[in-house]
Structure 1
Amino acid sequence: MDKAAPVIVKRVRKVAAGHHGGAWKVAYADFVTAMMAFFLVLWLVGVASKKEKAAISEYFKNPSAVVGRSATPSASTAGPGGAADKMLPTTDPILVPRGVGAASGTAVSRDPDADQLERRERRALEALKRDIERAIETSPALAKFKNQLLLDIITEGLRIQIVDDRNRPMFDLGEVSLKPYTLDALRQLGLMLQSRSNRVAISGHTDEAPFQAPHGYGNWELSAERANAARRALVDGGLAEAKIARVVGLAASVPFDRDDPLAPVNRRISIVVLNRASDAVAGTARAIPPGGLSTAGRVLAGR
């Protein structure tokens, strides 16, 4: 019997092909896209005028502002008589909004006549500031407050701040009656402000020292009462009641010295000689019925 022929089984092993390394294509595509965007920006910068560049820059600094105008006030030098060399960039009691059109989303166009009127109005406020500074040097009533009277031009107009001094407070602790020398100074200011057509806004401020009295009377009520006392003194000095746009108490919500909440300069009376735009905004508060004192910095009626 013949031997059977051997059966040979040949197994073929399939091996997957090696990686072709296509990841570099993704990186290259990203690089090309970035370069395209870069050169597109260079081209746009090259064809834009200086005015357009300034408008674009202003938009990214403050998108809510009108092109070419900042909606926030800048810090200004406080002058003599404060705990800080610079006044903090606070505005009180309101900020005049300058934004974009509600429907179109485009910047509000500026009227050249309005710009000229605004410049003329600013020059008038600067002249009033110089007059008050001269009066501080010559008037016995104001000279006592030489280191406590701070003047600066802000968004709303000319701000006159009378700050407390440790050795010369405007009020006794926790009281709302003005010291005699403070009363004389405010009367002198009232006489000077009456010579201008601008209305004024008055705000009272306290430090963060807790103050509690019966029936929930605290710093809000105290600051409002002190602001109203300042209003009465200005009127006694000759300022017409009709020129009072607003009287508010802000307690310690807008500190002068943020680093020291208990600093005497935080206790102050702020009088803002309103410009035309701010006065128009303040006029919206006239619909509030008289009712005397309110809390949380709301409008006070004259008392």
Structure 2
Amino acid sequence: MATDAKKLQPIIVKKIKKGGHAVHGGAWKIAYADFVTAMMAFFLLMWLLGSTSEGDKKGLSDYFTAPLKVSMLGGSGAGASNSILPGGGADLTKQAGQSRRGEGNDPIQKKMLAEAMKAEVAKQDAKKLASLSAKISAVISSNAKLAEFSSQIRLDTTPDGLQIQIVDDQKRPMFDSGSATVKPYMRDILREIGAALNGVENKVSLDGHTDRAPYSNAERGYSNWELSADRANASRRELVAAGMPDDKLARVVGLASSSLLDALNPLSPANRRISITVMTREAEERLMGTGRAPDTKAQEPTAATVSQ
């Protein structure tokens, strides 16, 4: 019976189900893609740095340091850009033999640059001439001889530069009457001024003037024009003797009575004078631009000059 009971006992089979792996998200794929992109960008950067010239690198550096300066000056280092201020290195869109339209030929840019340079030169000239004026004033006040004639030495700042005028006086004429012979005190004044001008880079204009009294021998062909030119040349020789280089003179002219200092009194002694103008760069360029070359000799007045 026991044997029959064992045979009738049901057989139980246990099946163990093994669970599968948990589902992972795709975040690692995104991280891997970012890593690959970053590595690609890094290698592209290294390749660009290796293939860029030192000049282009300097242009990039200059642009990020001072973009306005690069855009104004142009040249290498001011490359193609869609912004208002061009810059950022060489124009990578430019083929060999081609140039970007308007590159380095912008009239507004050129005008702005020229005006900025002109203003800077004028500023430097003003400082130099102010310093020279103070120097000459100090020389006059510290020199007993010159201090005595300080009333006859006039310093004025004009659009053309620093004007030093040595005017005549009824009791102290600069030259012998009707001649170009320099008086001793006039020689001292000219030589002190010449020494002061020795270290100045600017060009000098020297003009001789007379009053309107007619020259006694005018009918013989020698008039106030020749007299003023001879006096200007005599003054030039004294300045050069004091050490001022002869090539510093841009012009030496005789203007007779065409430019009176005291127009209300044409016969005033103050109209008889020597004008020494230390010119600004602008005045020098304007003088040279008229087509007249610098001349260290007195020029005989032309009809155009006489008409003044």
Code of the aligned partner of 1:243: K
Alpha-carbon distance, 1:144 to partner: 2.9
Partner of 2:188: 184
Worse-superposed segment, 274-283 or 128-137:
274-283
Could you tell me how far apart the structure 2 residues matched to 1:160 and 1:297 are? 27
2-structure distance, mates of 1:297, 1:223: 16
Change (3 A) 1:287 1:245: closer
Q: In the TM superposition, what are the counterparts of 1:59-70 in structure 2 within 5 Å?
A: none
* Equivalence for 2:70: none
Q: Is the 8 A contact 2:160 2:280 kept in 1?
A: yes
Q: What residue is the counterpart of 2:247 in the other structure?
A: 242
Equivalent residues in 2 for 1:253-264 (5 A)?
Answer: 253-264=258-269
Please say if 1:199 is aligned against 2:200: no
- Cα distance in 1 for residues equivalent to 2:191 and 2:303: 24
Indicate which of 275, 278, 290 corresponds to 1:273. Answer: 278
- The C-alpha deviation readout for 1:34-87, integer Å capped at 9, x for no partner, is xxxxxxxxxxxxxxxxxxxxxxxxxxxxxxxxxxxxxxxxxxxxxxxxxxxxxx
Structure 2 residue corresponding to 1:152, chosen from 153, 156, 166? 156
Partner of 2:48: none
Please report how far the alpha carbon of residue 291 of structure 1 lies from its aligned counterpart in structure 2 after TM superposition. Answer: 7.5
Deviation, structure 1 residue 286: 5.5
Which whole-Å CA distance do the structure 1 matches of 2:207 and 2:168 have between them?
14
Whether the aligned pair in 1 keeps the contact of 2:208 and 2:229 (CA below 8 Å) is yes
Instruction: Tell me whether 1:294 sits opposite 2:300 in the alignment.
Output: yes
SS of aligned partner of 2:251: strand
The 5 A counterparts of 1:32-181 are 111-181=115-185
Amino acid at match of 2:301: T
2:232 pairs with one of 224, 227, 236:
227
Please tell me whether the aligned partners of residues 163 and 268 of structure 1 are also in contact (alpha carbons under 8 angstroms): yes
Whether the 8 Å contact between 2:252 and 2:299 is mirrored in structure 1 is no
Report the Cα distance in structure 2 between the residues aligned to 1:297 and 1:197, rounded to whole angstroms: 33
Q: Distance in 2 between matches of 1:278 and 1:163?
A: 23
Name the structure where helix makes up a greater proportion of residues. Answer: 2
Larger RCO (CA under 8 A, 6+ residues apart): 1
> Equivalent residue for 1:210?
214
Q: Secondary structure at the match of 1:111?
A: helix
* Residue identity in the other structure for 1:169: P
C-alpha distance 289-142 of structure 1, shift in aligned 2 (>3 A): closer
**Aligned AA (1:294):** E
One-letter code of the match for 1:131?
K
| Rg larger for | 2
Aligned sequence identity (%): 41
- What is the CA–CA distance in structure 1 between the aligned matches of 2:295 and 2:130, rounded to whole Å? 34
TM-score where L is the length of structure 1:
0.59
Q: Is the 8 A contact 2:214 2:224 kept in 1?
A: yes
User: What is the number of equivalent residue pairs in this alignment?
Assistant: 193
After superposition, what is the alpha-carbon deviation per residue over 1:11-46, rounded to whole angstroms, capped at 9, x for unaligned? xxxxxxxxxxxxxxxxxxxxxxxxxxxxxxxxxxxx
Aligned-partner Cα distance in 2 for 1:292–1:264: 22
Match of 2:18 in 1: none
One-letter identity of the residue aligned with 2:166 = I
The AA in structure 2 aligned to 1:215 is R
Indicate the RMSD between aligned Cα atoms, in angstroms: 2.5
Q: Does the CA contact (< 8 Å) of 1:208 and 1:252 recur in 2?
A: yes
Unaligned ranges ≥5, structure 1: 1-103
Listed as ranges, the gaps of 5+ residues in structure 2 are: 1-106
Q: 2:294, 2:287 → 1: CA distance?
A: 11
Cα deviation digits, residues 232-285 of structure 1 (max 9, x gap) = 110011100010110011000100001100001000000000111111233356
Offset of residue 184 of structure 1:
1.2
CA contact (8 A) 1:248 1:297 kept: no
